[in-house]
Amino acid sequence: NATQEKGRQMTSSRWRLSAAILVVVAIATSTVLARTFLRPTVPTYRIHAAPYVQRVSAEGLLQAVNSKPILAPRRARRPLTIAWMVSDGSPVKKGDVILRIEATDFEKELERGLSENKIAAQQVVQAQAARAGKIANLDRDVTMSKKELHNAERFQNRDETIYSRMEIIESEIDTSLARHKTDHAESAKTTQDQLSTAGIELLEIRQRQAQLSIDRAQQGLNELNVVAPHDGIVVFERDWNGKTLQVGDTVWPGREIASIPDLGEMEAEVYVLEADAGGLEVGQNASLIVEASPESPCAATVKQIDPVAQPRMRGLPVQYFKVILELEKTDPRIMKPGQRVLARIVLVELERGITIPI
């Protein structure tokens, strides 16, 4: 019995030890699981009030506030081909040739006009001679018919005591026929004179048209050279793709092809992406650098904003707002029209604000 009692006590001790071990393992396991699954999954940040500035970037070109436009010759009535031009941005003096128009088309027009004028003049002379000859012949016909009418009226048989009724009637018919012949001759002369005069006038119109072509060609030849109206730097116009005119390009009469800007006052034309233009307003501050001189930043102010966003390049759907920046000062040493600039426009500026990361 003592042995059995001792065995039961040892078995009970083993069970209590096993239970204690299981409790410890369970507590440890629950702690690990709690630390694993109850850990926060969203990162947290400590935020605090601080000075806040929201800026938008833009890029574009410098341009002069005031400039003298230079136009292609206006009197020409045809597209003009550029034969020679100075380099974009070249300094020029008053009267210097900055662009020359190809003379071949005007020379051909002049030659054709001279030829047509000569032919028309010869045709006018021939038509006048033909008219004079026809009128002279018709004058003779009129003179002859008038003589016949005079003789018919003078020697008309009217005395019924001398002539028979048939002879009197025949004499009246002859007189009436002579009268009709006279009227017809005079009418033919008038009609022929009018027709000949109209034909000559048409030829004279052709001659005047040829003379106009001659005058136009001579004016074009006299205006082949486009000169600078005053001293300055030549800036050629750019197309929608930003390219300037080149030798061989065609321009229309009266089109603005270049300008000579006033370098004392410059402004910047920059483009802001439509998606970044929220809050963009006139009067906002901006900073600007010229790419060629990044060490000299310049303060600026938003002067003008286009009301509608448009694509900068044909075929690309990305829209931009064109913005004009007024510079605080102009430095002619580093600022030239057409230079690329980078700008940062301040949309929002607060002394104290709270920002939260995106």
Could you read off the pLDDT of 284-327 as tens digits, one per residue? 999 999 998 989 899 999 999 999 999 987 778 899 999 999 99
Q: What's the per-residue H, E or C state across 94-137?
A: CCCEEEEECCHHHHHHHHHHHHHHHHHHHHHHHHHHHHHHHHHH
The helix or strand, by DSSP H or E, that contains position 325, with its residue range, turns out to be strand 319-327
DSSP summary character for residue 244: B
How high is the mean pLDDT of the chain? 84
Taking CA atoms, 61 is separated from 289, 310, 333, in Å, by 11, 17, 16
Could you tell me which residue, 233 or 342, shows the higher pLDDT? 342
Q: Which residue type is seen at 301? A: T
pLDDT value at residue 59:
94
The pLDDT assigned to 40 comes to 58
d(CA 146, CA 156): 15
Secondary structure percentages of the chain, helix, strand, coil, to 5: 40, 30, 30
Distance CA 39, CA 42 (A): 9
**Taking each helix axis from N to C terminus, what angle separates 104-154 and 165-222, rounded to the nearest 10 degrees?**
170
Give the distance between the most distant pair of CA atoms in the chain: 208
d(CA 340, CA 67): 19
- Whether 67 and 265 have beta carbons less than 8 Å apart is answered as no
Mean pLDDT, range 166-182, rounded to an integer: 76
Quick one: pLDDT at residue 1?
58
Chain-centroid distance of CA 78 in Å reads 17
pLDDT of 355 over the 90 cut: no
Question: What does pTM read for this prediction?
Answer: 0.53
Q: Identify the weakest region by mean pLDDT among 46-60, 96-110, 144-158.
A: 144-158
Token pair of 182 as six digits: 């006279």
